[in-house]
């Protein structure tokens, strides 16, 4: 599973990405700093099962810090999106092409209202960030519509002639966009479009269909960024009233803490509700002031920086992921060389024991007999 970081220019997408992946991609206070996508490894934060099982683990594919498991996941930061990008404005379709493989999206919104719809700096509080939420969804839908319409006459006629089913043709048209056939089926049925009569579907129907497919295949969590600025609180309340997943976020603060933690200046695990300065005597006055500001404007106001929370929300709320800890030896809870709880895998809710076997190795999936629930010691069938 891949999560994409999207939004109009200059909202802090790359700052968010750098904080989450500890990368050094260029950040600047003008639009279109990012042109080519940045791909990196972020971490999902979960309570590690080591505590419940009362064992000391030696993770291999992930990290365990004080009973918290950090599991690597892929994150993609892309170019900013401007109105009419689907027609090629700004960097146009490039943005959309770069997130086509994403399974969920983190929409980084500048909630301070300090950047206009194209990402240019304006007086704080003068742009309405609610507009940004809608326009990004619309760009996506229009982009999908453009792809569908390219061949619509032929597709709809062929389907009606009965040569090939509409579902499989649409799936083919949208292939490579990480859209599952069952999401297409669900979208068509939920809009009550008649499958056998696609020539009767209007342009309006097709646009609604694209919207539905987008909601199912690229669900969005809003990272309400720049929450540290004075004009942000009011807008965050308004966004929350819209019935969306909204996470107040301060990407710059998270980046400061992650870098400081790398240098052992502070003790801080991404997602924590506070941080501790390890060596106050090593801080110069500017650093001390920066940490004080983070405490005051981020932790005291919002409880955390929101970066980890947005990533967790994308995986757990949107993608309904679960964390699985496969082991080879169910008694020792280890792999064959004795690492206890070596791996943590992120899988979709509803995955089966056999899916897990395939995920570990194709041979294991093909030769699957049964799995064992290591907690209970009971055998589990392939479809458990």
Ligand X SMILES: Nc1nc2c(ncn2[C@@H]2O[C@H](COP(=O)(O)OP(=O)(O)OP(=O)(O)O)[C@@H](O)[C@H]2O)c(=O)[nH]1
Residues 8-37, one symbol each (x = binds Mg ion by CB under 5 A, - = not), give: -----xx------------------xx---
24, 28, 153, 303: which one binds ligand X (CB under 6 A): 28
Pairing of strands 378-380, 371-373: antiparallel
Q: How many Å apart are CA 140 and CA 276, to the nearest integer?
A: 42
Restricted to residues 33-92, the positions that interact with Mg ion (CB under 5 A) are: 33-34
Instruction: Give the pair of three-digit tokens for residue 95.
Output: 């943005």
CB nearer to ligand X: give 297 or 332.
297
CB nearer to ligand X: give 27 or 236.
27
Q: How many CB atoms lie within 10 A of CB 297?
A: 17
Partner whose binding site includes residue 250, from ligand X, Mg ion, none (CB under 5 to 8 Å by kind): ligand X
Q: How many Å apart are CA 5 and CA 154, to the nearest integer?
A: 35
The closest of 37, 139, 29 to 82, measured between CA atoms, is: 139
**11 lies in the binding site for ligand X (CB under 6 A):** yes
Residues facing residue 41 across a β-bridge: 74
Q: How many Å apart are CA 109 and CA 186, to the nearest integer?
A: 29
Q: Which residue has the tokens 């319409």?
A: 149
Q: How many Å apart are CA 1 and CA 46, to the nearest integer?
A: 17
**32 lies in the binding site for ligand X (CB under 6 A):** yes
4, 6, 14, 21: which one binds ligand X (CB under 6 A): 14
Does residue 38 sit in helix, strand or coil? Answer: strand
**6 lies in the binding site for ligand X (CB under 6 A):** no
Does residue 205 sit in helix, strand or coil? Answer: helix
CB nearer to Mg ion: give 14 or 304.
14
Partner whose binding site includes residue 103, from ligand X, Mg ion, none (CB under 5 to 8 Å by kind): none
3, 4, 6, 12: which one binds ligand X (CB under 6 A): 12
The CA-to-CA distance between both ends of the chain, in Å, stands at 21
# binding residues, ligand X (CB under 6 A): 23
**226 lies in the binding site for ligand X (CB under 6 A):** yes
CB nearer to ligand X: give 82 or 371.
82
| Least distance from ligand X to the Cβ atom of residue 232, Å | 9
**31 lies in the binding site for ligand X (CB under 6 A):** yes
Please report, for residues 62, 187, 316, 319, 333, the alpha-carbon distance to residue 374 in angstroms, rounded to integers and kept in the order given.
20, 39, 23, 25, 8
Q: Which residue has the tokens 């790359």?
A: 14
CB nearer to ligand X: give 15 or 217.
15
**251 lies in the binding site for ligand X (CB under 6 A):** yes
Residue ranges binding ligand X (CB under 6 A): 7, 9-15, 27-29, 31-34, 80, 225-226, 228-229, 250-252
Residue ranges binding Mg ion (CB under 5 A): 13-14, 33-34
């Amino acid at each position: 599973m891949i999560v994409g970081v999207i939004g109009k220019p200059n909202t802090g997408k790359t700052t968010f990405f750098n904080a989450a992946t500890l990368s050094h991609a260029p950040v600047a206070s003008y639009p279109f700093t990012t042109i080519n996508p940045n791909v990196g490894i972020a971490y999902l934060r979960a309570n590690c099962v080591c505590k419940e099982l009362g064992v000391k683990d030696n993770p291999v594919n992930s990290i365990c810090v004080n009973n918290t498991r950090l599991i690597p996941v892929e994150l993609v930061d892309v170019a900013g999106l401007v109105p009419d990008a689907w027609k090629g404005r700004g960097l146009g379709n490039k943005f959309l092409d770069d997130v086509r493989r994403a399974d969920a999206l983190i929409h980084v919104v500048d909630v301070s209202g300090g950047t206009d719809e194209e990402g240019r700096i304006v007086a704080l509080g003068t742009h309405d960030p609610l507009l940004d939420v809608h326009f990004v969804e619309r760009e996506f839908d229009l982009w999908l519509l453009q792809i569908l319409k390219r061949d619509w006459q032929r597709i709809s006629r062929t389907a009606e002639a009965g040569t090939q089913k509409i579902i499989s043709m649409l799936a083919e048209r949208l292939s490579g966009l990480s859209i599952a056939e069952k999401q297409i089926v669900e979208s068509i049925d939920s809009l009550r479009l008649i499958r056998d009569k696609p020539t009767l579907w209007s342009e309006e129907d097709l646009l609604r269909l694209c919207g539905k497919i987008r909601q199912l295949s690229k669900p969005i969590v809003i990272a309400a960024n720049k929450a540290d600025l004075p004009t942000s609180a009011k807008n965050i309340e308004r966004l929350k009233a819209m019935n969306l997943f909204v996470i107040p976020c301060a990407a710059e603060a998270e980046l400061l803490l992650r870098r400081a933690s790398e240098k052992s200046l502070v003790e801080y695990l991404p997602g924590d509700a506070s941080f501790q300065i390890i060596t106050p005597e090593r801080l110069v006055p500017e650093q001390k002031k920066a940490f004080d500001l983070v405490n005051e404007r981020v932790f005291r106001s919002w409880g955390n920086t929101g970066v980890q929370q947005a990533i967790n929300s994308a995986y757990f709320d949107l993608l309904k992921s679960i964390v699985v800890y496969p082991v080879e030896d169910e008694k020792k809870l280890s792999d064959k060389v004795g690492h206890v709880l070596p791996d943590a895998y992120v899988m979709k809710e509803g995955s089966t024991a056999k899916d897990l076997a395939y995920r570990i190795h194709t041979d294991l999936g093909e030769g699957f007999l049964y799995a064992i629930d290591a907690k209970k010691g009971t055998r589990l069938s392939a479809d458990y």
